[in-house]
Amino acid sequence: MTKSLLLTAVLAFAVSPARAAAPTVADAQAFMDRAEKTLDELGLRSRFASWAQATYIIYDTEWLAADASRAYSAEAAKLAREARVYDVIELPADLKRKFLFLKLAVEAPSPPTEAEQKELADVKVWLEGTYSKGKHCRTPEKCLSLDDMEDAFRTSRDPADLLDMWKGWRTISPPMRPKYQRLAELSNKGSRELGFKDTADLWRAGYDMTPEQFSAELDRLWLQLKPLYASLHAYVRRRLADKYGKDVVGKDGLIPAHLLGNMWGQSWGNVYDLVSPPKSTPAFDLTERLKAKGVDEKGMVKYGEGFFTSLGMPPLPATFWERSMIVKPRDREVVCHASAWDVENSDDLRIKMCTRINEDDFVTVHHELGHNFYQRGYKAQPYFFRGSANDGFHEALGDTIALSVTPAYLKTVGLIDKVPGPEGDNELLLKAALEKVAFQPFGLLVDKWRWGVFDGSIPPERYNKAWWDLVRKYQGLKPPVERTEADFDPGAKYHIPGNTPYARYFLANVLQFQFYRALCRQSGHTGPLHQCSFYGNKEVGKKLEDMMAMGASRPWPDALEAATGQREMDATAIAEYFAPLKTWLDQQNKGQKVGWSE
């Protein structure tokens, strides 16, 4: 071919209609149809592989889970990169929303090269497997699992024993530090390929507001909650000092993190016996009542299902009972962290839980089933809208039901013989606050730390110091022994190696009280908010089902309005619920220091 002919051919190709035509809405819709079908199929394979790995941890299942995760993440990232060509055209709102969700399809977007995609998948599985197999060996013959230590934290009042377990569990996480650093690096590469500054920006992009607005929203909600938390913190600190002595607790206004009945100090319900009002006698012990009634693990789940069916919702499918892992197997390693699954989006609902017969797991069952009923509620939605309005909604739904597990409800289902009088309300509210209110600063700080890691404001050489700076600022806690950068204490919390976003739990605690207040008002309840139970109210069930059926198809303020009549998240419902307790705590704290040096 002559030079002139070659030039003519090149120019013809460059200006051909196929090359020159701008993408159209029809092109974008066709692309999205293919993307949803592809990711739906890959997601199904990944969920089956992940279920096998989570319920039977061996090399083979870890390999299969990593491979399936890599395939899904790589394809999602590839499609998201290809989708950027449609950023230049105006799309209908629902289609534009799907393109955003395509970019948010995975928490750790795959980098562009195949080698790094495999490395990221391997790192993610290694981190979760290392956490799940972690043990604290006091002697070569006596090794404690996390479950063993969590059980001991419920009842042990020996500060030396608590300190040994607290330190021992944190020996599993230092090897995670370089792997976690690499996860952040690879994830950031993938996020930048999608047009985000980093993974922190990507994670905050799914809330129908800018990442900066979302961070400000969390801070606004925290300021609504902080006075109640500070009152609770001061009261608990004083009562722990009464038990363990000021030499153990200290005089700096902070609480040693190992004394609160929980491995991470994130909930304080297990020390209720140490901080309960003087001369108070609990009206009932739900753990003992469950055991006295002979309730087994499946029975615990049946109670949870019964609450949802009382609202007019269909029962769980038969396959739920056949395929769920409700009891911890004795013959293999599993991921015991409770979770709810929708494997095939065809009523293949499951929970994975090493259920124990106690009050905590009774509440957890209701929470996890909330996920399952929500999953079934939006199953008719297209692929990218099969989710909650924002991820806080998903976490909140089951906990809204759990708030309705009042003494009146427990009597209705035969777990207690009579409803205690109002004279015991402060005790019940204190017990609830030790779980719900105490959790909120922890729910906030986990992702504040992680966002700092992703955006580089927390470099690897300050991973541990930054973690404890946030714990001090928000929780008012301190490590019981000196910590250094040889430690990696964030890795001792599942959601860090598991790469699971955590702000959703903070939002869920706000939303559940907001949902609860609105649903109680709809049910006609007129007494103190904390006494409301809407068990058996079909109108409440219909309102919940209508909200769940929306899935993620509309911005979350629309879904919030459907359930509550409000379009803004509002923590005042928490203040209303705990108002009698706040008055009592302030009386108890007279003359005491409230707050701590941040």
Does residue 395 have an active-site annotation? Answer: yes
CA distance 3 to 59: 60
Does residue 119 have an active-site annotation? Answer: no
CB-side neighbour CA atoms (13 Å) of 309:
10
Catalytic residue among 52, 71, 152, 338: 338
Bridge partners (DSSP) of residue 135 are: 145
- State residue 9's pLDDT score: 39
74 assigned to some structural domain: yes
CA distance 366 to 413: 14
441 assigned to some structural domain: no
SS3 144: strand
Catalytic residue among 495, 549, 561, 575: 495
50 assigned to some structural domain: yes
102 assigned to some structural domain: yes
Within a 10 A sphere around the Cβ of 592, how many other Cβ atoms?
10
The segments of the chain whose pLDDT lies below 70 read 1-20, 279-282
Query: Which DSSP category does 111 fall into?
Result: P
- State residue 11's pLDDT score: 37
CA distance 406 to 424: 13
- State residue 280's pLDDT score: 65
CA distance 181 to 454: 9
104 assigned to some structural domain: yes
Q: Token match 């409230």: residue?
A: 594
CB-side neighbour CA atoms (13 Å) of 88:
7
Domains held by the chain: number: 1
80 assigned to some structural domain: yes
CA distance 533 to 516: 9
Does residue 367 have an active-site annotation? Answer: yes
Helix or strand holding residue 151 (H, E) = helix 146-155
Rounded percentage of the chain residues whose pLDDT exceeds 90: 80
Does residue 505 have an active-site annotation? Answer: yes
- For strands 255-256 and 477-478, give the pairing: parallel
Catalytic residue among 36, 62, 193, 395: 395
pTM of the model: 0.84
CA distance 521 to 144: 47
Instruction: List the domain range (segments joined by +) for residue 61.
Output: 32-129+183-196
CA distance 269 to 267: 6
Q: Which residues contact 343 (CB under 8 A, 6 or more apart)?
A: 44, 47, 48, 51, 323, 349, 350
Binning the chain into helix, strand and coil, the percentages to the nearest 5 are 65, 5, 30
**488 exposure class (CB count in 10 Å sphere: 0-12, 13-18, 19+):** buried
Catalytic residue among 283, 337, 344, 579: 337
CA distance 281 to 272: 11
Does residue 368 have an active-site annotation? Answer: yes
Does residue 337 have an active-site annotation? Answer: yes
Cα first-last separation, the chain = 76
- State residue 367's pLDDT score: 87
- State residue 281's pLDDT score: 67
Catalytic residue among 371, 463, 466, 474: 371
Catalytic residue among 180, 502, 505, 516: 505
346 assigned to some structural domain: no
CA distance 281 to 160: 28
Q: Which residues of 59-96 are buried (b: 16+ CB within 10 A; e: fewer)?
A: eebbebbbbbbbbbbbbbbbbbbebeebeeeebeeeee
Report which of 551, 549, 504, 548 is spatially closest to residue 386, judged by C-alpha positions.
Answer: 551
438 assigned to some structural domain: no
Catalytic residue among 366, 367, 394, 530: 367
Catalytic residue among 75, 128, 150, 368: 368
**98 exposure class (CB count in 10 Å sphere: 0-12, 13-18, 19+):** buried
Decide if 486 contacts 174 (C-beta within 8 A).
Answer: yes
Alpha carbon of 65 to those of 71, 122, 387, 593: distances in Å?
10, 9, 22, 51
